[in-house]
Amino acid sequence: MDILWTENNRAQRGLDSVITYDTEELKPYGPVLVAQSDKGICFVGLPVEGSFETAIKAMLAYFPLAKFIETKSHSHRTGLDIQGTAMQIAVWKELLKIPEGETKTYKDIAEAINKPTAYRAVGNAVGANPVCIYIPCHRVVGSNGNLHGFAWGTLWKQKLLSDEADKRPCNTKSVTA
């Protein structure tokens, strides 16, 4: 999937943009909120307690300057249109390197982007990921293995990680003594 990375801060996101959105079935998870600009998918939100209210509020906050149009059309672009700060983009690019069914810690990500003491900034960037599932922020855990926060709730994080682990061939699962 092609990704268009645009570096900007929150106050600039959505400037001169029209974003269309609707819910769409994403197997095996059920309906998700999908938003698109004219350049690609720019936001994905998951239901919280069966409602998309949190996802819609998050989408509106993420793109404060955009015009939004709810649509029933599902003519998705083939790529992603990702807007964020330089730090966020560096973190999100690193998240794309985490193989399905595996996890990394915030510390691992901070070290990988050459900012070894920037755990908090990494955590903020992970939490600001606008396209969960496509950029696998759910694969980042605490140094102690705890799931820590996830924008859509830890139940979603557990489900995504569990589903990915179930897909992996048995001989590649990590075993610790």
Residues catalogued as catalytic: 137
Answer whether 71's CB lies under 8 Å from 22's CB. Answer: yes
Q: Which of 94, 108, 20 is nearest to 63 (CA)?
A: 20
Q: Which of 164, 160, 138 is nearest to 151 (CA)?
A: 138
Answer whether 21's CB lies under 8 Å from 63's CB. Answer: no
Pairing relation of β-strands 41-45 and 67-70? unpaired
